[in-house]
Amino acid sequence: MLMQDLVSGQAEARPDATALVMGAARISYGDLETLSNRTAKMLREMGCKPGDRVGLLLPKAIPTIAAMLGTLKAGCMYVPMDQESPVERLARIAKACEPAAILVSKESVKQFAALREISPEAKAAQCGTLADDLGAAAGVDFAFTGSEIAQMPAMAFDCRRGPGDTSHILFTSGSTGDPKGVQISHENVVSFVDWGRRYFEIGPDDRNSGQPPLHFDLSTFDIFGSLSAGAELYLVPGSLNLFPNKIADFIRTSKLTQWFSVPSLLSYMMKFDVVKQDDFPDLKRLLWCGEVFPTPGLIYWMERLPHVTFTNLYGPTEATIASSYYTVPSCPPDASWQTPIGTACGGEELLVLDEKTLEPVTDGEIGDLYIAGKGLSPGYWKDPAKTAAVFIDDPRSDDAGERIYKTGDLANVGEDGLVYFLGRADSQIKSRGYRIELGEIETAANAVDAVGEAAIVAIEGEGFEGAIICCAYASMDSEDLSPAELRRALTKKLPSYMLPSRWLVMDPLPKNANGKIDRKNLKERFSDGLGQTA
């Protein structure tokens, strides 16, 4: 089965049911099917062939989802392009994927014009718009407009792609500065969506959130998990992320039954105490993924929403949305409790292996975390060297086609048989002769009651100490926690050699486009001399 088939099935069964909602705009499953079919036909008419890439330089909106589905129906791969990214980064993405077409909106047409000036690949791509009133905006000649799409025939046609073919490419940060294009196949997504829909019991009566940006892999489950189940997907405007009270009001007024986001946003809402006791009466499930959710924040949410189930999902982009899950059975007893990443999702495996032998470590021992199973990406787009470095032959199998993915994370298996995330392997530093896991320090800092959120980074030092441990944090709204006070609190939890020596009070901590803490930004601030000693 292909990803678009998940949605077409609902359009055939329930054409008049609402599929997507954004603000006052709504579209039914039947109309979404028609619009996506017409978009597919237009892409074919303008020369896009099966396997071509189509860049989506579009905002999160109903027409964008139709364009995504239309691209798949045309047999092409969609490539979300973040409108908030610098033009130089978009140029690197265009160079890597060489799109046959780039779709733009009223909001992004000027950005596209600037991109075309510095990118031969963008200049060579045909430009289409889903709007019908842009004319020759910013000097761009459009291969088609929204009004021309509306004239296309609405019948479906064979896209000539198979389940193992790449459906879309998601570009993530690369260590060399060039974004890495993670290929995701149809069967990668369908496998996880089938599992997730069953496990979370998503159905036609659900109203699910679409909070992450479309270039972030969590959005894939929002879209295809919801639409494959016949649920209503409520697209959350990105502008709301700056206003926790408005996010809370969005959940209430939309009567959402499922909310899925990164923990940073949940912590932000906690900081401003926008969740009332027994709030969001329609909400059934709260899911998070992408980073560790500090336990004080989890306690805050679980105490206020005793009617909601809380599930931690774990998984890198290279393994498609998520690879493991853990539903928290009851409110944690205190802030020192650690949420496991749990057990593997259907069709997946979590492997905690010895760094050198690739043999399983004993329970309780720290090892490198690998993933196997149906979610593994085909690899990085046109980068066999990077692909071979992390997608390696499965040492347990004689079949050369069986692979495991090295996540770069550290983990162990607890006495309860669950897997626990212990931080990044590259977050291990050496300071004053000691090997230190920054994740352990960060967990301790986030467990301090007066801390809203905290992040630990390390910068290079010139003295004997080696790496310098730095802590950036925000106090709870009702607290004013000084670095000296936080340091004293940490002395009760950590040995002296693990205590940060530089401190930066920030409200809020900087976030990247995916809503995660921007650790690179923090490192740059500390390296520039910001922060204080305590």
CB of 470 closer than 8 Å to CB of 502: yes
CB of 156 closer than 8 Å to CB of 131: no
Provide DSSP, 162-205. Answer: -TTSEEEEEEE--TTSSPEEEEEEHHHHHHHHHHHHHHTT--TT
Amino acid at 110: K
Residue appearing with tokens 């260590």: 175
Q: Which of 314, 343, 372 is the last residue of a domain?
A: 343
Q: How far is CA 293 from the centre of its chain?
A: 14
Confidence (pTM)? 0.85
Domain count, the chain: 4
Q: Which of 398, 422, 446 is the last residue of a domain?
A: 422
CA angle (235, 155, 206) in 5-degree steps: 30
**Is 427 part of a structural domain of the chain?**
no
Q: Identify whether residues 334 and 381 lie together within a single domain.
A: no
Domain assignment of residue 20, given as a range: 3-154+162-192
Where residue 140 sits, what CATH number does that domain have?
A: 3.40.50.980
Q: Which of 364, 389, 422 is the last residue of a domain?
A: 422
Q: Identify whether residues 9 and 131 lie together within a single domain.
A: yes
Question: Which residues is 471 bridged to in the sheet?
Answer: 456, 503
Q: Identify whether residues 265 and 333 lie together within a single domain.
A: yes
**Is 468 part of a structural domain of the chain?**
yes
**φ, ψ for residue 325 (rounded to 5)?**
-150, 155
The span from the CA of 317 to the CA of 184, in Å, is: 9
Q: Identify whether residues 323 and 404 lie together within a single domain.
A: no
Provide DSSP, 433-484. Answer: TEEEEHHHHHHHHHTSTTEEEEEEEEEE-SSTTBEEEEEEEEE-TT----HH
Tokens of 294: 């500090």
**Is 534 part of a structural domain of the chain?**
no
**Is 176 part of a structural domain of the chain?**
yes
pLDDT in tens, the chain (534 residues): 999 999 999 999 999 999 999 999 999 999 999 999 999 999 999 999 999 999 999 999 999 999 999 999 999 999 999 988 889 889 999 999 999 999 999 989 999 999 999 999 999 999 999 988 776 666 788 999 999 999 999 988 788 899 999 999 999 865 445 789 999 999 999 999 999 999 999 999 999 999 999 999 999 999 999 999 999 999 999 889 889 999 999 999 999 999 999 888 998 899 899 999 999 999 999 999 988 898 999 999 999 999 999 999 999 999 999 999 999 999 999 988 999 999 999 999 999 999 999 999 999 999 999 999 999 999 999 999 999 999 999 999 988 789 999 999 999 999 999 999 998 887 777 676 566 778 878 988 998 989 989 999 999 875 545 689 999 999 886 568 999 999 999 988 887 878 999 999 998 899 887 788 999 999 999 999 888 887
